[in-house]
Structures are given as C-alpha cells and as structure tokens.
Amino acid sequence: MALPVEEWRQNVARRWAALEPALREQLAAASLGEALRVGCGLFGPEVAALRRLCGRVRTDKEPAAARFYREEGNRRFGLCRYSEAARLYSQAAAHEPPRSPEVALCFANRSAALFHLGRFEVCLEDIARAESHGYPDRLLPKVLLRKAECLLRLGRLQDATDTLTAVENKMTVDGIMTSSTHLTLLKKLNQLKTEIHQGSCSEPSRGAHGDIQRESEIWEENGSISGASSSLSLNFNTERGRHLVASQDILPGQNLLKEKAFVCVLCPVEGDSLLLQNSSETVWDTQVTNADLYCHHCLKQLLASVPCCGCSYAKYCSQNCADVAWEQYHRTECPLGALLLMLGVFCHVALRTVLLAGFSEVSRLVEWSHDDSNKDLCNAEAGDKHSSEALDTRAGTKGIPGCNDDGQYQSSYRAVFNLLPHVEKHSPEHKFLCMLSIIAICKKLQETGLEAAVLNRESSIMGSEQKMYGKTSEELSPELMITAEAMLRHVLQLQCNAQAVTVTQELESGDGAVVNKKPVRLATAFFPVLSLLNHSCSPNISVSFSGTVATVRASQPIPSGQEIFHCYGPHHCRMRVAERQQLLSQYFFECRCQACLDELESDVESVSMRNSFCCPNCQASMQGKEMLCCSNEACAFSVSRGRLSRRLLDLQQQMEKALELLRDSKADEAIRMLLKCQMDARNFLSPEHLLMGELEDHLAQIYAALGKWQEAARHLERSIQLVEMHHGPSSVEMGHELFKLAQILFNGLAVSEALSTIQRAEEILSVHCGPQSTQIQELQEMKTCLLELPRSILQRT
C-alpha cells in the first residue's frame, strides 16, 4: 500500500490528461514549491471525489461494528477458540466509546479469554482496565474472582487473599445478585480459599516467553555515524554518492549498525490492496490485518490492545504507547484516518515525518534548500558532474550532505531531508499524483483546524491568521505551504529510500508442535543511516528488525576497504539480471554489481531454469517466450505460456484448499490432495521449481501435525534442497528451514541428526539474526534438552 488507492490514481490521471499541454510542461519543469503553488489553484474538483472515496474506508467508531465483533467473540469463546475470541473482543473494544461501561465489558470479556490462554499477567491488566473504565458494579465480583485466580496462579498468595476478602465483603454488603449466581460465586470463592490455604498452586507459571535479556554484544560505536560500528566509515564520491566502507576487516555475523527508524508507519494490509468497501455494504468481517496484530506505535505484537480514544483503527500495546503516539503525531492523524489510508503509506510517512520533526526544523531546512549554493551540494550527489567537482576535494565528512557542522552523520531530520528526492527523474504524472495527494492532506488539516497542531502552536496565536486562511479558503497558509513542500519532498524520496520493516510471523500449525514462520512486511520507514548503503544484487550484509529497530550484520567476511552493500529487493539468487534491472529502474540507476556484470557477460541463464515449465509430454525443458516449444526435437510439443501459467495458478489454488482442509483438522484429505498436486506439478514444472519445494514443505507440516516425524523430516529435507538452490546455502531462508527441520527431528527424538541440524541452523541464523535472537535461544534449549536425555532413550534411537 505504498501508493494511493486505484480509484484516486485514476481520478488524478484523468485530471492530468485533461490539463493544457503548456500547463503540463510548466508543472514538469517546476521546482517543488512552484509546482505546489500551481497545484493549489488546480485543486478543487477533487474534493468531492475524495470525500466519496474516504466514505468507503472505515476508521470511525461504530456501535454496529462493536456489537458484531463482541457477538462473534462470544461465539468463538463458546467454541474454546480463545485467541480468536481475544482478538475479536479487541476489535469490539476499538469501536466502543472510551471510558464507557461497554468498553469495560469488552476488556472484562477479553480478560476471560486471556485467562484460558494462560496469560495471567495480561489478564490482570485487562481486569484493571475494565475496573478503571467503569465496569458495572453488580458484575464486579465475577471479575474479581478471576483476578484472585490469576494472582493465585502467579504465586502471589497474599494479593490473592486480599482480593478474595474484597469480593466477600462486596457480596455480603450489596447482595444484589440473583441467588443462583451468588451461589456459584460463593462456591468458587470457597474453592479458591482452600487452594490458597493448601498452597496447591505453589508452582508459579513462568511468563510464556521468559523475557530474559542477555548481556548485549560487545560493540564499539562509530564517532561520526550514529548507531554504526567503528569498523565503518562514511565516504562520498560523484559516482557512488554517499556510501559506507569497511575501515577494517569484518567477520561474518559482526554487528555493523543498529538504528531506530526516524519515522515508521504500520502498513494496514500486506501487498498493495486496500479494498474500498461499497457504501451500500455494511458488512463487518473477521479478517485480521496488521493493524489488529501489531502496535501502531512500536510494532510490538498485540495480545490485549489499547484502542485509540478517537478512531477504531489505531491500536497500541500499552497505554504508554497510546499516549506517546497521541502526543507526537496521532492527535493530528486521528481525524485524518480514512484519508491517510486511502492515499497510501508513502503520504502517511511524509506527514508523520514533518510532525515528528516539528515545524521550526521543517521550515529551516526547506529555506536552506532554496539557497542556490546548497542545491549544488544535492545535485553533486545526484551525479551531476558539473556542480560536483568542488565537493570532491573537500576533506573528511564535513561537506557530505546530511552531516552537521562537525562532520557527524546522525539519525536526524537533517539526514532525512538530505536523502535524494530525484525531483527531475520522476515522471511528471507521478509528481502530479503525489502533489495533489499532499495538497489534499494539507487542505484537510486547514479545514479541520488542525493546522495549529502541525505548526506546534497554540490555536490562540493562530487566531489572526486563521481569519485569512479559514476553512473555506482556496489557498494554503504560508506555513502549510512550507509543510506541504517538505512532505512532497519526502514522498518523492520514499520511492528510493523507503525501507520495509519485516518480521517473521509465527503461524501456528495444528497442535503447534512445529512453528511455521513466514516473512511479513509490517511497516514502511525512513532509516537515514541504513539509507547510506548502496545496492548490490549480491549483498554482503543481512538486515533484521526488532520493533522499529534495524540491525545490520555482515553476512560474509568483508575485507578492509570494501564497500558495504544492502540488497534493495532484487537478489541474484531469485531473479535473472533482466528482471532485476527492470525492478531497479524505480531507483533510477543501472546496477553494475559483480553479480550483474558476471551474468551480463556470461549470458548463462542459470536462474531461469529454476522456475520454468517443462514439457507436459516428455518433461524436457521448454524454450521460447510467448509460445513455448519442447527442447527435445523428437517431441516438438508446443503450448502457449499463458496456458501453462493458468495451470500453475490452478495448482496454487488446489494447494490453498489443501491447507484449508488442514485447518479444519482434515489431515488425511489434505495429504491426499497435496500428493495429487505433486503428481500434477511433476508433469509441467521443472523439478527445481519453487512450488515443488512449497508442496514438500506443506506435506512436512501436515505429517508433523500428525506426529509422524520421520515422514515430516523426509519431505522437509527435499524442500530444503530447493531452498538452498534458490536462496543459497547460507541464506536466512535456509536458516529458517533448518530451524524447522531441527524442531521435527527434536520431536522425533532423532538425536544425532537433530544435533547436527541444530548446529547448522545455529551457524547460519547467528550470522543473520545475532546470538541473542529468540531462534538461537530456542535452538540452544533444544540442544541442552537432547544432551540431558536419559541414556535409555538415546540407545533406542
């Protein structure tokens, strides 16, 4: 969801096509500020279209939605599907008015689900929330008993006793309950009292994740680049722009950079499809998005979310995150929710960037950029040879764009502002789309009186100006024009500098014996230091994320003097050079990395073989572009690529159906279906096709769920061969696969195989994720456990 929704894009494209040619030319050549001044005059017919589109994105609190989610939550609760129930109560809470008995009821219900999930600490938090939001007095004893039970399970006996005394007093004092409920509660109360007395629950349950922080890695920070290791240095030349170079020999796995995002916005949905609802439909669905799963502010995974008090969209992991977000940016964003979702995550990042920077810093840098001598600096980096010569001769890092007067490069707004916007290289249509989108946001800020908040001013001081640039004004105030210019710059920068924040999401499979992990794009962010890294299709680092913090590690030995390379997406293991170059064109450069040069010279199509079709008649490889011909002359079979592509699509759908069967606990049927898919796939896909690996992976998953560890391991090993071929033997993908295999072998008590797999997984994952990652910790726990097994079991295996 980087760009605005399709409907808005089309609307703007029609507007662009209808402009006078002279005006189009003027806009194409204009500076950002000039373009915005012209754009504001043009903006008008868009208002109605925007209002219509925003009406189809739901971010308000709606009682009907609250009712739907609460009822659905109760239904799942009845089916003992407690994590689903907890999530649905969260969604209900997000739609209830804040500080109301209704929202308190949602928290109380959720606390019951959390109790069943064994998450006692979080359950207690929810009970406290219910109490503080005005939970009905007559229902309180039931919730307080749950509280006592939680405290008991956590081994807090005194607190449990105190709570019970409070319940007892309450019940005798008001005696308002019907006699039967009263009796049930009394029974429960007595039961708990005996349990406390006996101390029968003496074993306090551990926190499910055991958040023990290990001592951090030894690391020496760079004096001039914030967050970077001292083994890096910042260089600059006209050919490569700013870039980081190893200033000493670097070992694989070595920590090179730890950077917190300057700004980070959660992507509502994975992929590029925010689907607008038809205004006639008032259907609520139970589909889960990133917005339901991760904290809007810090990206922590949500269990019991705290909803925003203004909208139904933003959810937080804690009241603290909710308060910080509100203070820093959300009070401005909250009323703009639907508009921001519709205009896409790039516009949203642009707005939040200026909100975080503060108006005085924004206006200082916008004015600085208008100064001609500073333009030269920026052009130098964009590769403009004429203006760059002066720079090359400067010593040290002082003259490098984005560095402060002491030559230090910090994760600051100055550094973000100095990322290249490539104003001249974007297509005029694209610039027009970005511009109208930014104007839409600024007009809305002015219209809703949020301007003061953006400019960090008291509304009273704004008084006089607001008369001039009131709600109906055609123009934007001079301050908002400056803000708009900065935002437009940021949207254009994002095309080359947006960093996706990804996590490996754990998918529970069946009984949860084997955890399946899938990489998910969570958010879009600016990391000004990480952005210093140039691209290579064969990078020498690996990036991992924890919340909004990125960690960069060397993935191979890097000798002193060599440049540090990040892969922007197109990796040489996954794509052919032509495909990579096409994808990289959005970054306005032609990749000349070693992998590209080698491939362009040798014209060996190594990767193309891997994801190709084979002849349905004789399984020989197929040749050609649109029309595919069998490479076996004797066969000479031919078929259109489209037909085989459709067959592949069918196969993928069958595979999805098989996984659905698995979710409904119909494992045998799922296996039969997958085996049939496999037979079919062998007929027209090359044996190295990634889908072959996926099929093996799914089979392994089902056998693991059934406890058939040997079969599971056999299938997973075949999947691993393909992953190795596609991603390389020391890739992070390979690490995840080996991790899964280790779990299967561990469960199957195949001790020696498990130990050697753990070893391999550990070697790879510690390079990519570091020795402190949870995966490494889990591997080490498995290892300890295996080594401590009684001899009798070891001999059997």
Would you count residue 321 as binding Zn ion (CB under 5 A)? yes
Where does this chain touch Zn ion (CB under 5 A) — which range of 153-161, 239-247, 321-329, 390-398? Answer: 321-329
Closer Cβ to Zn ion, 401 or 570, answer by number: 570
| Cα gap 525→315, rounded to integer Å | 19
Q: Please identify, among the stretches 140-148, 169-177, 332-340, 711-719, the one whose residues bind Zn ion according to the rule CB under 5 A.
A: 332-340
**Of 268 and 401, which has the nearer Cβ to Zn ion?**
268
**If binding is defined by CB under 5 A, does position 412 make contact with Zn ion?**
no
Q: What does the DSSP assignment read for 113-140?
A: HHHHTT-HHHHHHHHHHHHHTT--GGGH
Q: Which residue has the tokens 């909710």?
A: 322
Among 123, 291, 482, 591, indicate the residue that binds Zn ion (CB under 5 A).
Answer: 591
Nearest to 354 by CA among 470, 493, 465: 493
Amino acid, single-letter form, for residue 693: G
**What's the CA gap between 410 and 402, in Å, rounded?**
8
Q: Amino acid identity, residue 186?
A: L
Structure-block tokens of residue 612: 């190709």
Cβ proximity to Zn ion: between 304 and 486 the closer is 304
Beta bridge mates, 519: 504
Return the range that interacts with Zn ion (CB under 5 A); candidates 415-423, 490-498, 526-534, 616-624: 616-624
Concatenating the DSSP letter of every residue in 43-91 gives: -STHHHHHHHHHTTS--S--HHHHHHHHHHHHHHHHTT-HHHHHHHHHH
Nearer to Zn ion, 310 or 402 (CB): 310
Q: Does 629 bind Zn ion (CB under 5 A)?
A: no
Rounded distance between C-alpha atoms, residue 521 and residue 289, angstroms: 11
Q: Cβ contacts of residue 495 below 8 Å, gap of 6+?
A: 346, 422, 426, 586, 587
Query: Considering beta carbons, is residue 19 or 309 the nearer one to Zn ion?
Result: 309
- Record the tokens describing residue 469, joined without a space: 């640039």
Shortest spacing between CB 668 and Zn ion, in angstroms: 35
In angstroms, give the least distance from the CB of 81 to Zn ion. Answer: 25
* C-alpha to C-alpha distance for 65 and 48, rounded to whole angstroms: 26
Inter-residue contact 77 to 69 (CB < 8 Å)? no
Residue 772 touching Zn ion (CB under 5 A): no
Taking CB under 5 A as the criterion, which residues in 180-219 touch Zn ion? none
Which one-letter amino acid corresponds to residue 98? P
Contact status: 435 vs Zn ion (CB under 5 A) = no
φ/ψ of residue 685, rounded to 5: -110, 145
Q: Least distance from C-beta 591 to Zn ion, angstroms?
A: 3
Q: Which of residues 35-94 bind Zn ion (CB under 5 A)?
A: none
CB nearer Zn ion, residue 338 or residue 558: 338
| Smaller CB separation from Zn ion, 152 or 298 | 298
Q: Which of residues 262-301 bind Zn ion (CB under 5 A)?
A: 295, 297-298, 300
Does residue 314 belong to the site contacting Zn ion (CB under 5 A)? yes
Q: Which is nearer to Zn ion, 224 or 548 (CB)?
A: 548
What is the DSSP pairing of strand 534-535 with strand 565-566?
parallel
Question: Which positions from 519 to 558 touch Zn ion by CB under 5 A, shown as an x/- string?
Answer: ------------------x---------------------
DSSP assignment, residue 172?
A: H
Smallest gap from residue 309 Cβ to Zn ion (A): 7
Q: C-alpha distances in angstroms, 520 versus 75, 504, 557, 690, 790?
A: 29, 6, 28, 19, 40
Position among 4, 141, 268, 310 found at the interface with Zn ion (CB under 5 A): 310
Q: How many CB atoms lie within 10 A of CB 203?
A: 8
Determine, following the binding rule CB under 5 A, whether residue 593 of this chain makes contact with Zn ion. Answer: yes
| Of 245, 269, 382, 635, the one binding Zn ion by CB under 5 A | 635
Tell me if 617 contacts Zn ion by CB under 5 A: yes
Please give the residue ranges that form the binding site for Zn ion (CB under 5 A).
295, 297-298, 300, 308, 310-311, 314, 317, 321, 334, 537, 591, 593, 596, 615, 617-618, 620, 630, 632, 635, 637
